[in-house]
């Protein structure tokens, strides 16, 4: 059976699950739906809902923050509004030298639309994208 028949969930390594919970729940407002162990750490992982179902598995690991790549993207209707809400919650948008950003940290997306990036406390990078 092909994998497209199954749901997929992004897994994000963090160095401190308590600090991650404060960020993902407190600043991003994600809904916690499940907890579990991570390696030898009881309650070292959390699953968060997004878009109506489980979307992110955040787990404590020594490999946290080791990639500069974008790990997950939220596709939003009103990018300015979402960026404003995150900024009010203390989340800063990341600015890259090779792109021209507006005052909020939003830039044009290749192929049209707009994009903004932010990072969690471990430097894991996430994107917000909108078609307009």
Taking a C-beta distance cutoff of 8 angstroms, is the pair 40, 56 a contact? no
CATH numeric code, 69-132? 3.10.180.10
pTM of the model: 0.91
Taking a C-beta distance cutoff of 8 angstroms, is the pair 129, 115 a contact? yes
Burial class of residue 72 in the structure, from the number of CB atoms within 10 Å of its CB (0-12 exposed, 13-18 middle, 19+ buried):
middle
Most confident of the following: 6-20, 35-49, 79-93: 79-93
Check residue 5 and report its DSSP letter.
G
Q: Kindly report, residue by residue over 18-61, the tens digit of the pLDDT.
A: 999 999 999 999 999 999 998 788 889 999 998 888 889 999 99
CA separation for the pair 16, 29 (Å, rounded):
18
Same fold, 1-62 and 69-132: yes
Taking a C-beta distance cutoff of 8 angstroms, is the pair 15, 64 a contact? yes
Fold designation for 1-62: 2,3-Dihydroxybiphenyl 1,2-Dioxygenase; domain 1 (3.10.180)
The ranges assigned to domains in the chain are 1-62, 69-132
């Amino acid at each position: 059976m092909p994998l497209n028949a199954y749901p997929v969930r992004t897994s994000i390594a963090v160095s401190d699950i308590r600090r991650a919970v404060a960020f993902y729940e407190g600043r991003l407002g994600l809904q916690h739906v499940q907890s579990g162990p991570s390696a030898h750490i009881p309650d070292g992982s959390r699953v968060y809902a997004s878009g109506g179902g489980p979307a992110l598995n955040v787990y404590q690991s020594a490999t946290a923050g080791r990639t500069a790549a974008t790990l997950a993207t939220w596709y939003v209707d009103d990018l300015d509004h979402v960026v404003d809400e995150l900024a009010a919650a203390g989340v800063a948008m990341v600015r890259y030298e090779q792109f021209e950003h507006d005052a909020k940290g939003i830039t044009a997306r290749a192929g049209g639309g707009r994009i903004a990036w932010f990072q969690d406390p471990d430097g894991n990078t996430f994107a917000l994208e909108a078609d307009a």
